């Protein structure tokens, strides 16, 4: 199993450009998440999904969109990149939710908006 | 004030030393997670605990629910333990929707 795969690993965007961060998992997990990690801060949840066709906003959804057309894929879309979106982005998945659920993370995407 | 606080923010130690990283939280929780983030960026889960103590190799995690505090210990530390260690709390309040509250992480450097 590859686990959770994120692409790309690095990207530089100009202000106003758009891009899609790809995330795919091969563990048949229902739950998928997008986080951003800023220096000195804990991970912040952007969006999450509890299954194909179902998505919901997390703590910091503004400026982002997601879709979940299949169980495996959960892409994150930035429509009009802004310098405030410079961050490291992590995709994660889990089989279920609750106290004893382990989450599996991708390797992260380092995005710089200039 | 963050609901999950870690200390110290940075820790440098010599190989072989006993390491303690602390995590305090201000909300009621049903579980606490410890994760490791390597310099390459990947995050892996180390422990999930809701009471007592868990041990895996040289890593030990403890939690005191009454004091709202958890610790991660590393015995006989090694340079390969150098990483950022993150705690994340799963709140019990109903509208949490099982979303974790994350600490900012402790950057650990073990010198040979």
Least CB-CB distance to B30: which of A99, A106, A108? A99
- B43 to chain A: which residues are within 8 Å by CB? 90, 92, 105, 108
Least CB-CB distance to B43: which of A40, A90, A100? A90
pLDDT of residue B97: 65
- How close A43 comes to chain B (CA, Å)? 6
The region, left, alpha or beta by phi > 0 then psi within -120 to 50, assigned to residue B69 is beta
| pLDDT tens column, B57-82 | 999 999 999 999 999 999 999 999 99
| pLDDT tens column, B14-26 | 999 999 999 999 9
Q: Say yes or no to pLDDT of B95 above 70.
A: no
CA A43 to chain CA centroid, Å, is 11
- A45 to chain B: which residues are within 8 Å by CB? 99-100
Least CB-CB distance to B50: which of A43, A58, A99? A99
Q: For residue B2, name the pLDDT band (cuts at 50, 70, 90).
A: confident
Q: Say yes or no to pLDDT of B1 above 70.
A: no
Distance of alpha carbon A81 from alpha carbon A99, whole angstroms: 35
- A100 to chain B: which residues are within 8 Å by CB? 31, 48, 50
- How close A41 comes to chain B (CA, Å)? 5
Q: Say yes or no to pLDDT of A29 above 60.
A: yes
Q: Say yes or no to pLDDT of A33 above 90.
A: yes
In the DSSP assignment, the letter for residue A30 is S
| pLDDT tens column, A47-104 | 999 999 999 999 999 999 999 999 999 999 999 999 999 999 999 999 987 777 889 9
Q: For residue B93, name the pLDDT band (cuts at 50, 70, 90).
A: low
- B104 to chain A: which residues are within 8 Å by CB? 40-42
pLDDT of residue A17: 97
pLDDT of residue B94: 58
Name, in order, each residue with C-beta under 8 angstroms of A42's C-beta and a sequence gap of 6 or more: B2, B4, B86, B88, B101, B102, B103, B104, B105
Residue pairs between chains A and B whose CB atoms are closer than 8 Å: 56
């Amino acid at each position: 199993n590859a686990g959770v795969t994120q692409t790309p690993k690095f990207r530089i965007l100009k202000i106003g450009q758009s891009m899609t961060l790809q995330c795919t998992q091969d563990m048949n997990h229902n739950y998928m998440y997008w986080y951003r990690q800023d220096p000195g801060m804990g991970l912040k949840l952007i969006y999450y999904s509890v299954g194909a066709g179902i998505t919901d906003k997390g703590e910091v959804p503004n400026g982002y969109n997601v879709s979940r057309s299949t169980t495996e894929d959960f892409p994150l879309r930035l429509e009009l990149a802004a310098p405030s979106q410079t961050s490291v982005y992590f995709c994660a998945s889990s089989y279920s939710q609750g106290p004893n659920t382990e989450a599996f993370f991708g390797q992260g995407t380092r995005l710089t908006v200039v | 004030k963050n609901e999950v606080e870690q200390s110290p923010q940075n820790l440098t130690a010599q190989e072989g030393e006993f390491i303690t990283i602390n995590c305090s939280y201000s909300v009621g929780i049903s579980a606490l997670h410890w994760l490791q983030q390597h310099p390459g960026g990947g995050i892996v889960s180390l422990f999930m605990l809701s009471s007592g103590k868990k041990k895996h190799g040289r890593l030990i995690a403890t939690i005191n629910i009454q004091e709202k505090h958890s610790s991660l210990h590393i015995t006989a530390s090694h340079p390969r333990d150098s990483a950022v260690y993150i705690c994340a709390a799963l709140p019990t309040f109903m509208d949490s929707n099982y979303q974790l509250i994350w600490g900012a992480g402790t950057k650990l450097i073990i010198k040979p």
